[in-house]
């Protein structure tokens, strides 16, 4: 009995499949007529840099999409904005001083477009302050030219962000206020090179500000410090060595993480890297080189990098020294 019912069910599925397949082979015919004008276009929201419009779905079976037209501060001069397949559209990143007018049309699979609807309009209002910038990172850099501290962050999800206020202090506890205001940027990164002193710790907070000038809560404080550079000692620059048991260099003036790199030339070709941390300050440090394999009569380059907040970008670095290995 069970097998009989299973056979009947399978037969029904097969019949339905054939029916669907036959219907799918029947292509719509282009009668040259445009689809009907969409109906019931209306605004369903207008705040915080967004305006939402919606309309009723067309009844035709071969609808390819709905075209959105917009005009700013005028019920004339509509310009094509985008095409959507949904029955609504949310326009983002809008200005609070402007009024936005919308019309829509519908286009079918043959490219025939209906006439446009009557317009609807709205002016967005600013209700909510933005969220705080997210995932804030920092990296102090004592690189050539000017020492700087770089800040990076991700934009909050708000669509009406105008930019970001940067606040700075040399003390950890401070308010993000006019006393500590540093600068404004529209980017999601900022390079602070204003009176950056090596070995001085700087603390930062960031606020997002929207186009209506509402501000977010500040981020948590982040900090970094520009280090001085390590000083290479052995092997000395342009030297010839007959054996290599260790590298020696002078540490920076604060505890730091280090990376000692040996390369087959001055640009690439890493032979060996040593990653370590040291609490020693302004002292000579030795790094065991017994595991480094060198080729006879070959010239190598070595240097030392320091790291603080970033795992990727160094804070400071030494000069490059070369040495030739002749056993």
CATH number assigned to the domain comprising residue 87: 2.60.40.10
The domain total for the chain is 3
Q: Are residues 109 and 194 in the same domain?
A: no
In this model, does residue 22 exceed pLDDT 60? no
How far, in Å, CA of 175 to CA of 181, rounded? 9
* CB environment 132-148: b (16+ within 10 A), e (fewer): bbeebebbbbbeeeebb
Q: Are residues 218 and 159 in the same domain?
A: yes
Q: Are residues 218 and 248 in the same domain?
A: no
Does the residue 319 lie in any domain?
Answer: yes
Per-residue pLDDT, 27: 67
Extract the tokens encoding 104: 């829509």
Q: Do residues 67 and 104 touch, judged by C-beta distance below 8 A?
A: yes
Does the residue 61 lie in any domain?
Answer: yes
Does the residue 210 lie in any domain?
Answer: yes
Q: Are residues 210 and 241 in the same domain?
A: no
Q: Which of 197, 189, 192, 195 is nearest to 225 (CA)?
A: 197
How far, in Å, CA of 103 to CA of 81, rounded? 10
Q: Please give the DSSP secondary-structure letter assigned to residue 113.
A: B
**Banded model confidence at residue 26, pLDDT cuts 50, 70, 90:** low
Name the helix (H) or strand (E) containing 65.
strand 63-72
Does the residue 11 lie in any domain?
Answer: no
Q: Are residues 219 and 237 in the same domain?
A: no
Per-residue pLDDT, 268: 82
Does the residue 261 lie in any domain?
Answer: yes
Name the helix (H) or strand (E) containing 141.
strand 134-141
Q: How does pLDDT run across 260-311, given as a tens digit for each residue? A: 999 998 788 999 999 999 999 999 999 999 999 999 999 999 999 999 999 8
- For β-strands 148-154 and 134-141, DSSP reports them as antiparallel
Q: Which of 177, 294, 291 is nearest to 242 (CA)?
A: 294
Q: How does pLDDT run across 169-204, given as a tens digit for each residue? A: 999 999 999 999 999 999 999 999 999 999 999 999
Of 180, 198, 225, which one is at a domain's C-terminal end? Answer: 225
Q: Are residues 145 and 221 in the same domain?
A: yes
Does the residue 32 lie in any domain?
Answer: no
List of residues 6+ apart from 27 with CB closer than 8 A: none
Which domain CATH number covers 263? 2.60.40.2550
Pick the range with the lowest mean pLDDT from 3-7, 114-118, 273-277: 3-7
Q: Are residues 317 and 253 in the same domain?
A: yes
Q: Are residues 237 and 300 in the same domain?
A: yes
How far, in Å, CA of 85 to CA of 106, rounded? 10
- For β-strands 239-241 and 321-325, DSSP reports them as parallel
How far, in Å, CA of 63 to CA of 81, rounded? 19
Of 122, 152, 171, which one is at a domain's C-terminal end? Answer: 122
Q: Are residues 196 and 163 in the same domain?
A: yes
Q: Do residues 278 and 192 touch, judged by C-beta distance below 8 A?
A: no
Does the residue 7 lie in any domain?
Answer: no
Helices marked H in the chain — which ranges?
2-25
Q: Are residues 314 and 298 in the same domain?
A: yes
- For β-strands 134-141 and 181-185, DSSP reports them as unpaired
Name the helix (H) or strand (E) containing 67.
strand 63-72
Of 208, 225, 242, which one is at a domain's C-terminal end? Answer: 225
For residue 78, the enclosing domain spans 42-122
C-beta neighbour count of 306 within 10 angstroms? 23
Does the residue 111 lie in any domain?
Answer: yes
Q: pLDDT above 90 covers what percent of the chain?
A: 86
User: If you average pLDDT over every residue of the chain, what do you get?
Assistant: 91
DSSP string, 1-60: -HHHHHHHHHHHHHHHHHHHHHHHHSPPP--SPPPPPP---EEEEEETTEEEEE-PPP--
Q: Do residues 100 and 145 touch, judged by C-beta distance below 8 A?
A: no
Q: Are residues 221 and 235 in the same domain?
A: no
In this model, does residue 31 exceed pLDDT 90? no
Q: Are residues 211 and 236 in the same domain?
A: no
Extract the tokens encoding 121: 């309009």
């Amino acid at each position: 009995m069970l097998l009989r019912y299973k056979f009947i069910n399978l037969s029904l599925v097969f019949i339905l499949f054939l029916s669907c397949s036959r219907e799918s082979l029947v292509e719509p015919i282009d009668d040259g007529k445009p689809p009907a004008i969409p109906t019931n276009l209306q605004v369903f929201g207008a705040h915080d840099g967004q305006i939402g419009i919606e309309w009723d779905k067309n009844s035709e079976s071969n609808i390819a999409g709905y075209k959105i037209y917009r005009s700013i501060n005028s019920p004339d001069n509509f310009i094509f904005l985008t095409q959507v397949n949904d029955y609504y559209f949310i326009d983002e990143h809008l200005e609070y001083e402007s009024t936005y007018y919308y019309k829509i049309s519908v286009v079918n699979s043959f490219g025939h477009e209906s006439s446009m609807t009557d317009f609807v309009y709205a002016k967005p209002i600013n209700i909510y302050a933005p969220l705080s910038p997210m995932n804030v990172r920092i990296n102090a850099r004592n690189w050539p030219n000017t020492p700087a501290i770089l800040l990076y962050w991700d934009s909050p999800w708000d669509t009406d962000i105008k930019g970001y206020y940067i606040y700075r202090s040399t003390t950890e506890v401070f308010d993000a206020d006019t006393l500590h205001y540093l600068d404004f940027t529209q980017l999601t990164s900022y390079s602070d090179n204003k009176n950056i002193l090596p070995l001085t710790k700087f603390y930062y907070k960031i606020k997002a500000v929207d186009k209506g000038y509402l501000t977010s809560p500040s981020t948590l404080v982040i900090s970094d410090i520009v280090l001085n550079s390590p000083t290479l000692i052995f092997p000395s620059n342009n030297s010839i060595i007959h054996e290599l048991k260790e590298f020696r260099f002078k540490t920076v003036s604060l505890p730091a993480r280090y990376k000692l790199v040996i390369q087959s030339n001055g640009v690439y070709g890493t032979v060996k890297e040593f990653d370590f941390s040291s609490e020693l300050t302004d002292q000579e440090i030795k790094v065991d080189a017994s595991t480094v394999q060198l080729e006879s009569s070959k010239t190598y380059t070595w240097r030392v990098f320091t790291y603080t907040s970033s795992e990727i970008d160094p804070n400071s670095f030494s000069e490059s020294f070369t040495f030739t290995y002749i056993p």
